Chains A and B, each alone.
Chain A
Amino acid sequence: MLRRIHSLPGLVLALLLTVIAVSGTILSIDPALDRATHPPIERGVSVAALAEAVASRHGSVDKIARRPTGALTVTYSDGDTKGVELVDPATGAGLGPYQPSEFTRFVTNLHRSLLVGDAGRAAGAIGAGAMLVLTASGLWLLARRLGGWRAFLQPIRGTAAQCWHGELGRFAALGLMLSSLTGLWMSAGTFGLIPESSLAEPAFTASGGPAAPVGSLAALRAVDVADLRELTLPAPEDRTDTYGLRTSAGEARIDAATGEILVFTPTPILERVQAVVVMLHTGRGAWVLGLLLGLSAACVPAFAITGAAIWWRRRTNPPRLANNVAARSADTVILVGSEGNATWGFATTLHAALTAAGHRVHIAAMSELAPVHTSAKRMLILTSTYGDGAAPASAKGFLDRFAALDAALPVAVLGFGDRTFPHFCGYAQEVSTALDRKGWPRLLPLKRVDRQSAQEFAQWGRDLGATLGLDLVLEHVAVHPKTSELELVEREDYGAAVGAPIAILRFRAPGAGAKGQTGRLPAFEPGDLVGIVPPDSPMPRFYSLASSSRDGVLEICVRLREGGFCSTFLHGLKPGGRIDAFIRENPGFRPAEGRAPLILIGAGAGIGPLAGFVRANSPGRPVHLYWGGRSPSSDFLYEHELAMHLAEKRLTTLNTAFSRTPNGGAYVQDRIAADAPRLQELIRHGAQVLVCGGRDMAQAVTHALDAVVRPLGLDLATLKSSGRYVEDVY
């Protein structure tokens, strides 16, 4: 709901808000420029002295005013010509005609009325209101995403669009709130919704005597030029006319003959408030604030672009169901925990089958669990597992939300996973345990589906149908993302002598025609995943990428596994051979922005993405690589390339451990333990740790590293939660 409040006005009003914000940013520079051209008015000169100096140069002077820009101007008549000129506040000397910038006038009108008058002003007010809603809801969503207000300044993880949207949001929120609130106030004033202060001035009568020289008038001698807002001079031939003197305190009528104040009207409170609001909105009189507000507003186009990207991704990621019943009128709720799209696919099949059987079914992500879902008759949870038993993307926060629920209803859990992992369906198991702890009745015991088996899924459907008293047939046809064909151009083979064949494979998009010409690769970064669909198998296998699409090749590092369908296929591939592949972003496994040191740890084929990080590193950022292999003579992957990176300072240090060397051998975790003091120093300086490799190695590394950081008063859980310890484990 909150998300919709955020995305709907954002999408609908993106263009309007961009125009208002960009024009606002341009205007925000003006107060700083004005300050440079019109330095603040110094104290020490009286209004009387200034007026006298000005009057001596002109036939008659109508008005001396301090403009909102800080410029002091004089309106004068010399014979039949009337003009406005800038004057030096210290001497009253003329500084040339006053000509407000045409450009600023145009941008101002664009900003406040989109150049279409009151309709545009109304649109501006709607824009300001929407901006306020967007900022507040955005902050709320960000806090929720980061795990509460206390974690508000934690690093933001996710896709590039999500990171930018969040980071800029944190930066710009305050400024945008101030701008939109003050903008709304000014709009209300324009449309007469804020009562005008009464203009009635108490009656007064001028003495009617002959006008005295302006320089001699007591009331004008008593006011400093720095306090002047506006001085209106009387018409020369009219003896009943008076001086009008406006300062921040109020407006005085001054007798032209006696120089006495005839009447003084203090500035009404509302007008003072108005002046402060205008200052806060325009930055006039507060140029630093103006620039800050301008910077905040400058983020708005980026919000529009990244916001649209996030929305689009979310929209296309979980499939939209045309016949998804609203949560409150559903009898069956299906909750989905999915990292890619596979589990959504199964859930959609289930949704269609139950709907066809006459049920009213609502489907939602597990992370959207809400009290309204407990009003249904039953709940079906389909979830995969991320990494070593963690929640997949669409189930983040599920357990916290579940803990806050009061009601209980019959439930069935279906886990999706891979039996070769030590914690097969680890997250489904954790969810199941949580349900038991709260005493939710079971429709069916926890069922685990191995590697997206359509048969096992269908069997579960028959069991579910039996308990519901209907004949439920689940025919799932997996939908894969669109694949592209890639061609192997180069391979390097290692490790055969030590019984662990590993191949570095480089692919290109096949050429469209002429020799040497190649097609376009899909976009990816080192650490992203490539899904490769081996022939005769619908199941893609994922490999971490060692290159970026900018390198012009797609590079992976593949260890041959006994009985491994895909690795056997890849190891048998000769240059010119082709594969079907697609990219899956892996934003959780990437070096953080900035120049903090990186500690890269891996073993065997896990060096792939780490080598890619090193290759993409700019010289100067410290990068320390710890890697373990079997034998330096057989499986030292990337040996020459890493030596080159060391020479070019892209890599700071390289620590290798080989397990099968004549004098005993060692593992990468041994190097970590031995290097504890240096690692502690690096982590104290904000280093990020990235681990890639097999499960056993990762566990050993976790163990060793935890011992390293303990003396610092840290633990790996803390580092993990702030994104300073990330892993890609298989």
Chain B
Amino acid sequence: MKALMPALAAATALVAPSLAFARPVTFEATLKNYGGNGAYVALYVTDAAGKYRGTLWMAGGKAKYYRHLSDWQRMSGGAATEIDGITGASIGSGKTLKITADIADAMIDAGYQVRVDTAVEDGMDNPSEIVVPLSTGSAGNPSPGKGYIKSFLASF
């Protein structure tokens, strides 16, 4: 879906100088049939120290609702530049968000984590609903979320 994540590239010093040192990683988040309006979903990466390193995707276009993605908001600072060009529509009940990002080799299996925040109008806010290591070892292993995510899967 996306050849390169500019925000992630900008946010990390670890990105490889050329695509030869990066590989495409596909993330799939399938939502439960919670039956409300479309969910706002933020996918972002933290390093081994738990520090925010960049956003992979923001599903949901209205900035005024971003404060409901409270961990993403707090860690990233919520600046528009963080999600410039990597924003899409909110994800409907039961639907799947699937994105592919080129991730630097140096970030894989190096203690980095992928986090997902979700929020639904008149429903729950689920900060860090998913926290999974960015590692080839966990590939193909779907993890359930505590809020609206039925399963989350990364494949390298």
- The residue from B64, B126, B146 contacting A80, defined by CB atoms under 8 A apart: B146
Q: In the bound complex, do residue A100 and residue B126 qualify as a contact, i.e. CB atoms below 8 Å apart? A: no
Nearest CB to that of B66 among chain A residues? A199
CA distance A102 to B37 in the complex (A): 10
- The residue from A84, A102, A190, A192 contacting B124, defined by CB atoms under 8 A apart: A84
Mark B123-151 against chain A: 1 for CB-CB distance below 8 A, else 0: 11110000000000000000010110000
Q: In the bound complex, do residue B37 and residue A109 qualify as a contact, i.e. CB atoms below 8 Å apart? A: yes
B12 within 8 A of A: no
| Cβ contacts under 8 Å, A109 to chain B | 37
Instruction: Please give the distance in Å from A710's CB to the nearest CB on chain B.
Output: 67
Instruction: Please give the distance in Å from A235's CB to the nearest CB on chain B.
Output: 8
CA distance A136 to B58 in the complex (A): 42
A196 within 8 A of B: yes
| Cβ contacts under 8 Å, B37 to chain A | 105, 109
Band of interface residues on A:
20 to 34
B67 within 8 A of A: yes
CA distance A67 to B61 in the complex (A): 23
Q: Which of A82, A118, A192 has the most CB of B within 10 A?
A: A82
Q: In the bound complex, do residue B64 and residue A189 qualify as a contact, i.e. CB atoms below 8 Å apart? A: yes
A75 within 8 A of B: yes
A232 within 8 A of B: yes
CA distance A196 to B122 in the complex (A): 21
Given known contacts A63-B125, A77-B146, A100-B122, A196 and B36 CB-to-CB distance under 8 angstroms: no
Taking Cβ atoms with an 8 Å cutoff, the residues of B that contact A are 35-37, 61-64, 67, 70, 73, 78, 89, 122-126, 144, 146-147
Nearest CB to that of A199 among chain B residues? B78
Q: Which of A544-595 contact B (CB under 8 A)?
A: none
| Cβ contacts under 8 Å, B61 to chain A | 118
Binding site of A, secondary structure by majority: helix, strand, loop or mixed?
mixed
Nearest CB to that of B77 among chain A residues? A200
Taking Cβ atoms with an 8 Å cutoff, the residues of A that contact B are 62-63, 67, 75, 77, 80-82, 84, 100, 102, 105, 109, 117-118, 189-190, 192, 196, 199, 232
| Cβ contacts under 8 Å, B126 to chain A | 82
| Cβ contacts under 8 Å, B125 to chain A | 62-63, 75
| Cβ contacts under 8 Å, A189 to chain B | 64
Q: In the bound complex, do residue B64 and residue A67 qualify as a contact, i.e. CB atoms below 8 Å apart? A: no
| Cβ contacts under 8 Å, B122 to chain A | 67, 100, 105
Nearest CB to that of B78 among chain A residues? A199
Q: In the bound complex, do residue A82 and residue B63 qualify as a contact, i.e. CB atoms below 8 Å apart? A: no
- The residue from A81, A82, A117, A199 contacting B73, defined by CB atoms under 8 A apart: A199
Q: A62-B125, A105-B36, A117-B89 are in contact. List 17 more A-B contacts (CB 8 A).
A: A62-B124, A67-B122, A75-B125, A77-B146, A81-B146, A82-B124, A82-B147, A84-B123, A84-B124, A102-B35, A105-B37, A109-B37, A196-B63, A196-B64, A199-B67, A199-B73, A199-B78
Instruction: Please give the distance in Å from A631's CB to the nearest CB on chain B.
Output: 81
Nearest CB to that of B148 among chain A residues? A82
Q: In the bound complex, do residue A192 and residue B35 qualify as a contact, i.e. CB atoms below 8 Å apart? A: no
Show 27 A/B contacts (Cβ-Cβ < 8 Å), sorted by A.
A62-B124, A62-B125, A63-B125, A67-B122, A75-B125, A77-B146, A80-B144, A81-B146, A82-B126, A82-B146, A82-B147, A84-B123, A84-B124, A100-B36, A100-B123, A102-B35, A105-B37, A105-B122, A109-B37, A117-B89, A118-B61, A189-B64, A190-B62, A192-B63, A199-B73, A199-B78, A232-B70
Nearest CB to that of A104 among chain B residues? B122
Instruction: Please give the distance in Å from B58's CB to the nearest CB on chain A.
Output: 15
CA distance A62 to B70 in the complex (A): 12
Instruction: Please give the distance in Å from B61's CB to the nearest CB on chain A.
Output: 8
| Cβ contacts under 8 Å, A67 to chain B | 122
Q: Which of B64, B67, B70, B147 has the most CB of A within 10 A?
A: B64
Instruction: Please give the distance in Å from A113's CB to the nearest CB on chain B.
Output: 10
CA distance A29 to B104 in the complex (A): 55
CA distance A77 to B70 in the complex (A): 17
Q: Which of A63, A80, A100, A118 has the most CB of B within 10 A?
A: A100
| Cβ contacts under 8 Å, A199 to chain B | 67, 73, 78
